[in-house]
Amino acid sequence: MNLIDTADAYGPDTSELLIAEALYPYPKGLLSATKGGLTRPSRSRWVPNCRPDHLKQALDGSLKRLRLDRIDLYQLHTVDSKVPIEESVGALKQMQDAGKIRHIGLSNVDRDEIDRARKIAPIVSVQNRYNIQDRESEDVLVYCEKEKLGFLPWFPIGGGRGLKAENPVNTAAKAHGVSVFQVALAWLLERSPVMLPIPGTSSLAHLEQKVAAANLKMSSEEWKAIDALRS
C-alpha cells in the first residue's frame, strides 16, 4: 500500500491533520491524495463549493495540514451545480501549473462531466461510489477502463450491507476461511485492472485483513456467482 486518500471535508480538517501527525516525515514512495470542493457546515451536511477561489484556499489549507509542498493527487470532490465543471477544473489546472498539484482527479462524476473536465486538464483518476451491491457507476468504470484512468471506488464494501445474508459472497468467505469484507475487496480487484479500492479501517487487525484480500484466490465459478449479485 502506497496511497492514502483523504479530504479536507473529513472532520473537517481532522483527517489530514492526523495523517501528518502519524506519518510525517512521509516514507519514500508514499502517494498523497486529498480532495476539495465539499464543505461541512455541520456534521450531517455536505455542501458543494467548487468556486475557483474556494478551491485555491482549500488546496493551500490541505498543503499546510499535510505538511506538503505538492499534492500527488488532488481531486475535485464533487460537481457544484452552481459552478461549471470547466471553471472548477480550470482552477485546479492553474494550481497544477504552479507546482502545487502533481495529478488531477475527479470524484462523484458521470461520463459527460469527465469528458468536459478532460478538455480543460489531464485527468488521471475518478473516485465514485461502487461496490458489489451498488454498481450505479458501472458505465463510468467501463469508461475508465477504456481510457486507462484509475478508478477509486469509495464505500467499496458498502458498509457491509447485503453481505451478511446467505449469498455467494458469504458462501465464498466460509469456503476460504476469510471475512465477507475480504471477499468484497477481492472481487473489486478482480473486476478491473484500473480498480484501486480505498477501504477505511479503525484497527490494525482490520487493516491487515483488508490488505490480505489482495492475495485471495477464488474459482471462476465463485467470481461469476458474486458478479451476478447486485441490488
For the CA atoms of 92, 95, 100, 106, the dihedral, rounded to the nearest 10 degrees, stands at 10
Q: What is the chain's pLDDT, residue by residue, as a tens digit (231 residues)?
A: 899 999 999 999 999 999 999 999 999 999 999 999 999 998 889 999 999 999 999 999 999 999 999 999 999 999 999 999 999 999 999 999 999 999 999 999 999 999 999 999 999 999 999 999 899 999 999 999 999 999 999 999 887 666 767 789 999 999 999 999 999 999 999 999 999 999 988 899 989 999 999 999 999 999 999 998 875
Does residue 160 fall inside a structural domain? no
Q: Report the CATH number that the domain containing residue 11 is assigned in CATH.
A: 3.20.20.100
| CB-based contact 197:188 (threshold 8 Å) | yes
Does residue 208 fall inside a structural domain? no
Given 10, 24, 26, 143, which residue is catalytic? 10
Does residue 67 fall inside a structural domain? yes
Range of the domain at 102: 3-127
Does residue 113 fall inside a structural domain? yes
Ramachandran sector of residue 11 (left: φ over 0; alpha: ψ -120 to 50; beta: rest): left
Whether 26 sits among the annotated catalytic residues: the reply is no
Does residue 18 fall inside a structural domain? yes
- Report the number of distinct structural domains present in the chain: 1
